[in-house]
Amino acid sequence: MSVTADSRLLALAGKLRAARRLAILADSDHSHAFAVLAALAAAGYGIAELPAGPTQLDARLRSAEGEAVMLNDYAAFAASLPATLRDAVAARWGAAERDPHYRPGQVDCGRLIIPVLRFGTVAVISAGVATVPPRHAALAGAAWIADAFRADAAIAWRPLGVALPLPVLIAPADGTPDTASLLAALDGDDAGPHAWRTT
């Protein structure tokens, strides 16, 4: 779908840039995510404590405590997914408690830890290696974006493997973070072609 045809982006354009909540799902090359962060900061988005560069972003992502998605919240999100996807995830990866990102709880059912850094109204998530079907942690990350962080839009370098009730802008196939085109798309600008597509 063309970003110019997505009414959700047109609605987002009516919100002040500093108030827009965005989730960036970083690919393995963190220079791409940093380029997007820097462009958003320069354009007036609510970026707090911008890293000095891609190396610092990478180091901070590696040491981040992350965000927790409680297992019962994840179960509720998973129940809303198509049965075919749920069955495929269970068949390939087993129960959510077997996921490497799962942490047991002392007085609850435990949680899945999502590698996230918050920079004000923009969050960066270390997306990890893509799998088909997605791992439980990847789905929990999608749940966190939509339900806990309540993002207005997400920016990614590959499809998430699950539909979200918000626009997800996917980078060009070569991975180039065309920031001018991205900013235009987020502003609902339909003049000219855009390098990013939305799902």
Calpha distance 84→86 (Å, rounded): 6
pLDDT (tens digit per residue) in 10-45: 888 889 999 999 999 998 889 999 999 999 999 999
Residue 39's pLDDT is 97
Q: Where do the structural domains in the chain lie, given as residue ranges?
A: 3-198
Residue 4's pLDDT is 42
Q: CB under 8 Å to 7, separation ≥6 — which residues?
A: none
Calpha distance 121→173 (Å, rounded): 27
DSSP, collapsed to helix, strand or coil, labels residue 179 as helix
CA angle 87, 71, 142 (to 5 degrees): 65
Residue 170's pLDDT is 93
pLDDT averaged per 10 residues in sequence order, the chain, 199 residues: 62 92 93 95 94 93 92 95 95 96 90 95 90 94 96 93 91 86 87 73
